[in-house]
Chains A and B, each alone.
Chain A
Amino acid sequence: MDEFITVCPRNCYSTCTFKVQVENNTIRRILPYSGNRATPEGPCIKGLSYIERSSSPARIINPLIRTSRGTFEKIPKAEALDIVSSKLSSLKEKYGPHSILWYRGSGMSGLTNEIGSAFWKAFGGATTTYGNLCWPAGLEAVRLTLGTVKHNVPWDLPNARTIIIWGKNPAETNIQEVPFIAEARRSGARIVSIDPLRTPTADKSDILYRIKPGTDAALALAISRILIDNNLIDKVFIEKYVRGYEQFRHSLTITPGEAEKITGIPENEINRLAQIIGTGAPVTFLPGYGLQRHLNGGQTIRCILALAVLTGNIGKPGAGFNYANLQSYVFDTIKEPESYYPDNETDIPFRRSLSMAGLGKDMLKIKDPELKGALVERGNPFLQSPDSTLVKQAFRNLEFKVVIDQFMTDTAESADIILPAKNMFEQSDIVGSYWSPYVQFKPKVLEPPDNVIPESEIYYELSERLGLKIPAEQIPLPGNENIEHWLEKRINGYTQLRLDDLRNGPVPAPGLQEIAFSDLNFKTRSGKIELFSEEAKEKWKVLALPEYVPIVYGSYSEKYPLVLLTPNAGNRIHSQFGNLEVIKENSDKPAVLFSAADATRRKIYDGCRIRLFNDRGEIFSTAKISERIPEGTVVLYNGIWLNEGGGGNFLIEGRMTDMGYGSAFHDNRVEAEQAVL
């Protein structure tokens, strides 16, 4: 049995290192690797499920073509690639290259993902996407304020005396953070959760502030005011390192009493929370991403971040604002969130792009040329994009769709050709993390099934067929040794790191600051922490100061009383993993979660079939009454496949966040009733 060190490439905070035991080209065991200080106890249940996932009978291991009867049939690899290349070239000939949408999701991280863009550039371009479904509003808010998106290493957390978990649920979405929180608590830190939901993380906290969804900025601003009024701020720090304090101070008009009306949290408790933050230094804030999937998401993050700034909880052990830590993204020329901006130049291959948030709407709207084809990789936009109905309609209108995937997702079901995707064990790559500070090598440890080739080789084969002369530095020749050679060259020039340095396990990012901003160097326009940001105003047309902007639910949802939240489930990464047996056995059946009060009012009981609807659409699901849910809110975890009832995106309007081109998933309202069978 062979053993390798590898890394989980999913879109997840933890990016766990683990050991993998391979026997007969099959994954036998997945074991923890203690050399990664952030994930020493090993991966979560999803990581363990790779044993099943890598050899699942449900995996697509042959190219498939849609027949006239609508079913799929296996075809030889060469034939599939022939069809794809001839279709692409005929679409290009007839309508131009921009009639083809190249859609990429976040299904697998790694540097080799870039190889596709060399193909499409040589192809003459394609319509791409800008923005991101996940986190860019917050990234932008942090970038505008602190200049760089980074935070202290995960193992610094036990140094905190107060931990404010604001809209984050590490117990389910970043479980490797739980031991650090527990260690802090054991040594006396106070753990405060601020969340509309009583999450499993809240269950491990001392206090839970059950805030109304979308009102976090109002709470933060009220606390700022109390902190300032009670002199609980770090004046020396502010004077030296902060720009715009005076303007910010004068803009604080929300009183604790008004905040009570907005947030649902009593005035005296807001005062107490301010005391906890103002006297609990060092304070680490753990903001989540759901928090900023609101129309006011960017400004909300700016408001909360202001609390860390006012109290001087930046650049110190046990302190900070842990939104995302991009220190390991050392090989990126343009880092998030700037990489999400659309290209503005007019003569470049990717000049035309559609917003991730409004994909369906944009796809239907775009002209000259209209979209005629699509290639989807690493993504499942049918489920994960808002306005699923429009997305489906837009895809249905296309003449030709290619989907590259490992499993028959709802998006793959719509394809004309499905090309099997590699899995994480079948090609070498380099992976960074947005939480831990490691650069990691992911080796090839399995031979893919006979008819599966990695995406880089799909692009190689297509470029050969299309006669695109693309140099090997851009699209490597087939074979893993060529990929490793490509990686070797790719990382050259960024840092001193060479590929061989990475082979023995995770390596801390060159230039890592264990305590972020300990040098008090802020790469903003002014060189200071910017509470007041002209850039925010110029770029995003928001106030230069952090502000609470009430959510506009839109006229269509006025008659629907229940706020729909679609957070991430513990046992899935978006729509991944939910199809595996080991995951199903250990998860609750997909259900819409109700508070007892809301359920009773609608004569909905536990386990009853329900219809969840608004003017955008309807879905059928099962009701579950849960103590985790506050009155006025319903929860449906995201990533639920259509054959499980479908996800909330059928009821969610594709609207953009205030900054960063994110998606405001959580600003929709619905009604529910017992389903008539």
Chain B
Amino acid sequence: MKGKGFIFNQELCVNCKACIAACSLENKFTLPVRTVVTFNENRQQERAVSHLSIACNHCGIPLCMNGCPSKAYIRNAATDAVIIDQEKCLGCNYCTWNCPYDAPKFDTRKRVIGKCHLCYTLVADGSLPACAQACPTGALKYDRFERHDSAAIPLLPEGFGIEPALRFSEPVKNIPLEIIPPDNTGKLSAAGKGNINSKADWSLVLFSFSATIAAALTIFSFFSDKGPGSLIISLLSLVPGIISLFHLGKPLRAWRAPANIRYSPLSREIACYILFVTANFLMLFLNFPIFRLFSVFTGLILLISIDSVYYYSTGKIRTFLHSGQTFISALLIASFFTGELWPFIFTVIIKLSLSVRGLTAYRSSGTEMIFFFRLAALVISSASLLTGISYPALPVFLIFLTGELLDRIIFYIDFYPRSIKASLNNT
């Protein structure tokens, strides 16, 4: 893609933040949409310190726009700027997960996303965006160039292929500063900067967990007479929807959420959820096996759609191999409820192995206790089920469900949306 974009010279940037100030003075945004990120912030001796001024790169393939469930993003034709329409934004934050450059930011006052709009009125008039105009060293320029994919940005993990309008004017030289005498006194460690971006959010934990249980109950009822009736399942299936509203900056705009079903996994999730609720309510009136099967089917589809929302994680464990993903959890919970031994043993083995893998990844991280509790809950409850003791006594039931809830919490603890800061720290 040809076009104009930001051209950045690392040798010239000294982190003076004039670009940020120019942006806020020009646009009166209520939050700083531009930031300067520092590579080797802790000044490890073996590496050079450098900075990158970054806001939105107005990508050729904008992940924010593609993922936005409410189609709040538009591309300005005159300037190719990717702009958010704050009137349409739900405040769901999904774009903040998708963007690898942290361009969209949640404005806690307005409760919607704010982001760089490339000063598109200025740019359309032939002027420069305020940031590039203001840079007092000339490190940040805005000019015409052939867009490459992000491999052209050496500080970022390569190969997103999303055609960011950002390029480095010359290859980055990583010549460390030679310090004389060498500085050996009490270095700060490079570590200890984790959890920058962990998105553990209670409403999301409860939304996905209640959806998992609702879906598991449809399976339970399909295979067993002991399962709850259609009315209970229908009412239960409303719970996740209500909870999910709490996570939105603008809950009243929730109706827009399925608007981008073609591109947005989040829109698909909401659509699947609506389908699932509809199927359950249909069951109230048409309680035939085929409709019950339809409800089971929509439940499983819903879980797959929930899991795919979290596809882009830079956490230690891959989303699809995570013990806390909803699909496997629902199968386990359903087989636990039905008491069907072989399916239960099969899913427990999968769960156990995934959990142990997770524990290994998080060994001596300070959070391993929660993994132990989670494993203990699974072992205790499955042991009591397998030995036939006291099933279906309430304590076992509670221990089991607590274990599954912990697993979902672990899933979020490990969920790191892509972020430029995380990329820099890992480079």
Contact = CB atoms under 8 A, between A and B. Distances in A.
Interface string B167-203: 0000000010111110101111000000000000000
A570 interface: yes
B177 A265 contact: no
A51 B187 CA distance: 41
A45 B16 contact: yes
B376 interface: no
B25 A51 contact: yes
B14 interface: yes
Contacts of A585: 20-21, 24, 32
B24 A582 contact: yes
Contact-size category for A: 35 or more
A204 B176 CA distance: 9
A216 to B, nearest CB: 15
A596 B177 CA distance: 19
B274 interface: no
Nearest to A29: B26
A205 B49 CA distance: 10
Contacts of B49: 203
A52 interface: yes
A32 B14 contact: no
A374 B14 CA distance: 41
Given A45-B17, A45-B18, A627 B43 contact: yes
Contacts of A201: 14
B20 A31 contact: no
Interface in A7-57: 16, 29-32, 39-45, 47-49, 51-52
Contact of B18 (A48, A265, A599): A48
A178 B21 contact: no
A53 B178 CA distance: 40
A41 B180 CA distance: 34
Contacts of A265: 180-181
A175 B181 contact: no
B43 A198 contact: yes
Interface string A616-628: 0000000001011
Given A200-B14, A204-B14, A586 B185 contact: no
B11 A269 contact: no
Interface in A174-220: 175-176, 178-179, 182, 185-186, 198, 200-210
B5 to A, nearest CB: 19
Contacts of A631: 185-186
Given A179-B12, A200-B15, A266-B181, A596 B21 contact: no
B137 A41 contact: yes
B135 interface: yes
From A44, A47, A203, A206, residue with most partner B Cβ within 10 Å: A203
Interface of A is mostly: mixed
A595 B186 contact: yes
Nearest to B44: A627
A388 B12 CA distance: 38
A178 B185 contact: no
Contacts of B21: 45, 48-49, 582-583, 585-586
Interface of B is mostly: loop
A61 B97 CA distance: 47
B177 A182 contact: no
A41 B186 contact: no
A47 B17 CA distance: 12
A611 to B, nearest CB: 22
From B136, B177, B186, residue with most partner A Cβ within 10 Å: B136
A175 B137 contact: yes
A600 B177 contact: no
B224 to A, nearest CB: 57
Interface string A230-257: 0000000000000000000000000000
A236 B181 CA distance: 35
A616 B237 CA distance: 71
Contacts of A171: 14, 16
Interface in B140-185: 175, 177-181, 183, 185
A468 interface: no
Interface in A314-336: none
Interface string A336-373: 00000000000000000000000000000000000000
B177 A209 contact: no
A71 B321 CA distance: 67
B144 to A, nearest CB: 19
B206 interface: no
B134 interface: yes
24 contacts: A32-B134, A32-B136, A41-B137, A42-B133, A42-B135, A44-B136, A45-B17, A45-B18, A45-B21, A48-B22, A48-B134, A171-B14, A175-B136, A182-B11, A182-B137, A202-B177, A203-B48, A206-B175, A208-B178, A210-B181, A210-B183, A596-B188, A627-B183, A631-B186
Given A210-B183, A628-B43, 18 more contacts: A31-B133, A45-B16, A45-B17, A52-B25, A171-B14, A175-B14, A175-B137, A176-B137, A179-B12, A179-B137, A182-B12, A186-B11, A208-B178, A208-B179, A209-B180, A582-B25, A585-B20, A596-B186
